[in-house]
């Protein structure tokens, strides 16, 4: 079924995920949102589950922020290596893929531009995940 399978998987910007209430919203971010009470994370469209395991390392984020447009390909490759070298993260990718076969799942981050955000790489890694 690989390749032809249909996953109910999408991405969104944390804080703007209110319209995705039918999906399980996963916050793949390193830090919790500032100034938002824990009990408001879901209601304000941030996430249903916080999963920092799938966020880029602080070092990788720091390097990327120096020049995002120029460093995107380098960042994406480094982030992919970080995730795929971590057996726990690989297991979570498989879990999310299995969930997305059965129910809508959305992967969120704070970045405005998804084309320069790890969530676009993460979505592909989930789609490509193998047991």
Half-sphere exposure of 104 (CA within 13 A, CB side): 12
User: What is d(CA 73, CA 91) in angstroms, rounded to the nearest whole number?
Assistant: 25
Enumerate the β-bridge partners of residue 97: none
Q: How much of the chain, in percent, has pLDDT values that exceed 90?
A: 84
Distance CA 29, CA 52 (A): 5
Region 73-92: what's the mean pLDDT? 96
**Of 18-22, 27-31, 111-115, where does mean pLDDT reach its minimum?**
18-22
Sheet of strand 49-50: strand arrangement: 9-13, 105-109, 24-27, 49-50
- The model's pLDDT over 102-129, given as tens digits with 9 standing for 90+, comes to 999 999 999 999 999 999 999 999 999 9
User: From CA 121, how far away is CA 124, in angstroms rounded?
Assistant: 5
Residue 6: count of CB within 10 angstroms of its CB: 8
Ramachandran bin of 99, using left for φ above 0, alpha for ψ from -120 to 50, beta for the remaining angles:
alpha
């Amino acid at each position: 079924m690989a390749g032809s399978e249909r996953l109910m998987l999408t991405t969104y910007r944390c804080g703007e995920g209110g319209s995705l209430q039918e999906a399980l919203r996963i916050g793949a971010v390193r830090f919790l949102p500032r100034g938002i009470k824990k009990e408001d994370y879901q209601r304000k469209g941030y996430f249903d589950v916080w999963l920092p395991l799938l966020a880029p390392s602080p070092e990788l984020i720091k390097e990327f922020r120096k020049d995002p447009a120029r460093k995107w390909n380098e960042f994406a490759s480094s982030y992919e290596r970080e995730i795929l070298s971590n057996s726990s993260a690989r297991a979570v990718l498989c879990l999310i893929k299995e969930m997305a076969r059965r129910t809508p799942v959305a992967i969120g981050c704070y970045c405005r531009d998804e084309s320069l955000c790890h969530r676009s790489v993460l979505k592909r890694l989930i789609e490509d995940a193998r047991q």
